Structure 1
Amino acid sequence: MSIPVIDFSAFSLTEDDVSEEQMCSLSSQMKTAFTDVGFVFLKNTGITHEEVERVLDASKKFFLQPDEKKQPFSRRSFSINENHGWVSCEIERLNPNRPGDLKESYNICSVLPDIKWPSAEFQELHASSFLRCQELSLRVLTVMAHSLDLDPDVFLSAHRFVGTDRNSSVLRPLYYPPVDSEKVKKDQVRCGEHSDYGSISMLFQRNEGLQVLSRSGEYINVPVIPGAVLINIADLMQRWTSDQFISVRHRVLLPPAGDSCTRQCLAFFLQPDDEAVITCLDGSNKYPPVTGYDYLLKRLQASYDQF
């Protein structure tokens, strides 16, 4: 199995119009990818390699500081959203059956200027990146709706409040520090096996390490394609489409013993609006209705000792 690569230039952030022929081509390719694999690379999206690198550089400056400098920005310390803020190593367990993940992150759930930010540079670059990822993700939803012969508003109307306190989408720079093999706990990994929670996820990778579960039950290594974004279906979209689009488990294992490599990436997790009710689009009762927030809360509670 390999992850398909789609040229998204016809509907990139720099294009105002897309022809019906171009939309049909994009939607056909995307439908095949999300039905068969659950993941796809998009290239020529309008989000450049250079702008992603600037965001990753700014986040790395934050992550390389001593923990006491990062502590004031900890998750659960912001009134705007309990999920907003810095997550230190081993706090999150994306596979609850493993010890805490050997990674740290910064959850950006709001781009409001009046909240506390680590620096003006961090704020400017990450707020801009959040908005760019938001716009691209809504374009991807439009193509996905077209691929299912749906009015785009079926998906778009459930994502009207992204970036506000009525939606829990998050931009998440991640940093995987060097691993001390002598201190690693039994069964501990950098990022435990999991599927994502919401509608779709977007990932910009600086380094390799991600593995995706294939239909045959084997994990495959995901390459890094500079300038491309990796997009995958998340759980609520699988429920929404009654399993037509598939949400696939993925992970990041430890590097080989003695390998002191780090890993960095930038993720954007698109969530339906908190009060949006997700029901099966085919009218079936394959999955019971659930709101975007209720499903997210259940998954977060399983990933953290306390939410």
Structure 2
Amino acid sequence: MSTAGNFSSIPIVDVTKLRTGTPAEQMMVAEELGNAARNVGFVYVTGGGVDEALFESVLDATKRFFALPYAEKMKVYIGNSRNHRGYVPEGEEVFASGSKDKKEAYDLSIDLPSDDPDYVAGNPLLGPNQWPELPGFAKAVDDYYSAVFALGRVLLRGFAMAIGEEPTFFDQYVTKPPSQLRLIHYPFDSSAEDRPGIGAHTDYECFTLLRATCPGLEVMNGKGEWIDAPPVPGAYVVNIGDMMEIWTNGEFAATSHRVRKVPAERYSFPLFFAADYDTVVAPLPRYVAGDVPQKQSLKAGEHLFAQTMQSFTYLKERRARGEITLPEGSAPLSSFGQEARQKY
């Protein structure tokens, strides 16, 4: 099991050969990814093959959306949706610390038709997106989503190889996942020097791919120290999430992180790469041996929705009215990663 290192910086891994190389070259890259996942839980990924023009396009679309009047943005308020899609105003989201975030966001996922059987059946995370009436917005966002999700599939193969499985091992669990892309805007706030922008947490899915326009991200190491993770030009920050921590029974670390010191306007684009909603995530047989405690299994979508229910105001209100209930056995917020290890 990883003790997740007392690192002071985050490694950079070029994944070009994972996409285009020979099997031996792919394995070399996979081993680099595995080492980063075991010892840090975060890695800068370069060579991912995502056209930079797609990022510039989604950044432009995002700026145009957040520049709209508040009333216009609230036309696509996330609380209007049945499947957690749309505009998230400042203060809507509250993390385990209890502090409200100094940000606004727009949340979306795989854009399924309104007659999708899972959506019709009431799945809380699958279905169509809410799109604002903003020319070019939906295409720019959807094109970017598709490209980064494709990079996520490449990384998924690398992580499978890193733990000794076939490259396609995890594909069976990723056929229609509720992998969410967030467009996040941290407004200029000259008083934000010592105030959290987004509370300390781990990510609930398999892993996250992030691009951001300026510094602010911090990562917790094994000593409980916060390490800066500023943007690297052209690179994606990739961090391990709760699902990978469970599958590897703790060998891969879901590393706690937060956003602080945001005195400048900042845009952030995390894509949370998830497993299919009904996937039962449990430690793989190769990690169940000896006297190592076995992590509790859970259903991927229920875990994701339960964590979301505990951090979004509109869902807390629905829960208080008895319209929705937490799945049985749901983990409390911040129960994974380095922060949890420091607490417990």
TM-score (norm 2): 0.79
How many angstroms apart in 2 are the aligned matches of 1:262 and 1:115? 26
Check whether the contact 2:18–2:158 (CA below 8 A) recurs between aligned residues: no
How many angstroms apart in 2 are the aligned matches of 1:29 and 1:173? 29
1:229-278 per-residue CA deviation (whole Å, 9 max, x = no partner) reads 110100111011101110011111143xxx4x111111100111000110
For 1:132-147, list aligned pairs within 5 A.
Answer: 132-147=147-162
Check whether the contact 2:249–2:284 (CA below 8 A) recurs between aligned residues: yes
1:75-116 per-residue CA deviation (whole Å, 9 max, x = no partner) reads 13234x1x11111111112x3223210011111123247754
* Structure 1 position 71 matched with structure 2 position 71: no
For 1:1-307, list aligned pairs within 5 A.
Answer: 1-12=8-19, 15=20, 18-79=21-82, 81=83, 83-93=84-94, 95-112=95-112, 116-118=130-132, 119-161=134-176, 167-179=177-189, 181=191, 189-255=196-262, 259=263, 261-282=264-285, 284=288, 286-307=294-315
Q: Secondary structure at the match of 2:80?
A: coil
Counterpart residue type for residue 135 of structure 1: A
Check whether the contact 1:98–1:188 (CA below 8 A) recurs between aligned residues: no
How many angstroms apart in 2 are the aligned matches of 1:76 and 1:172? 16
How many angstroms apart in 2 are the aligned matches of 1:125 and 1:220? 33
Counterpart residue type for residue 37 of structure 1: V
Counterpart residue type for residue 277 of structure 1: V
1:40-89 per-residue CA deviation (whole Å, 9 max, x = no partner) reads 1111111133321221111111012121010011113234x1x1111111
Counterpart residue type for residue 311 of structure 2: S
Against the structure 1 CA distance between its residues 23 and 115, is the aligned structure 2 distance closer, same or farther, given a 3 Å change threshold?
Answer: closer
Against the structure 1 CA distance between its residues 202 and 117, is the aligned structure 2 distance closer, same or farther, given a 3 Å change threshold?
Answer: same
Counterpart residue type for residue 77 of structure 2: S
Q: Secondary structure at the match of 2:223?
A: coil
How many angstroms apart in 1 are the aligned matches of 2:23 and 2:144? 29
Check whether the contact 2:109–2:129 (CA below 8 A) recurs between aligned residues: no
Check whether the contact 1:195–1:234 (CA below 8 A) recurs between aligned residues: yes
Against the structure 1 CA distance between its residues 151 and 11, is the aligned structure 2 distance closer, same or farther, given a 3 Å change threshold?
Answer: closer
Counterpart residue type for residue 289 of structure 1: S
How many angstroms apart in 2 are the aligned matches of 1:254 and 1:30? 29
Check whether the contact 1:75–1:85 (CA below 8 A) recurs between aligned residues: yes
Against the structure 1 CA distance between its residues 115 and 200, is the aligned structure 2 distance closer, same or farther, given a 3 Å change threshold?
Answer: closer
Counterpart residue type for residue 86 of structure 2: G
Structure 1: 4+ residue segments shifted above 3 A: 112-116
Question: Structure 1 stretch 46-55 or stretch 84-93: which is displaced more?
Answer: 46-55
Listed as ranges, the gaps of 5+ residues in structure 1 are 162-166
Q: Secondary structure at the match of 1:244?
A: coil
The root-mean-square deviation of aligned C-alpha atoms, in Å, is: 1.9
How many angstroms apart in 1 are the aligned matches of 2:259 and 2:297? 32
Question: Structure 1 stretch 292-301 or stretch 238-247: which is displaced more?
Answer: 292-301
TM-score (norm 1): 0.88
Deviation at residue 11 of structure 1 after TM alignment: 3.1
How many angstroms apart in 1 are the aligned matches of 2:52 and 2:146? 16
Q: In the alignment, which residue of structure 2 is the partner of 1:164? A: none
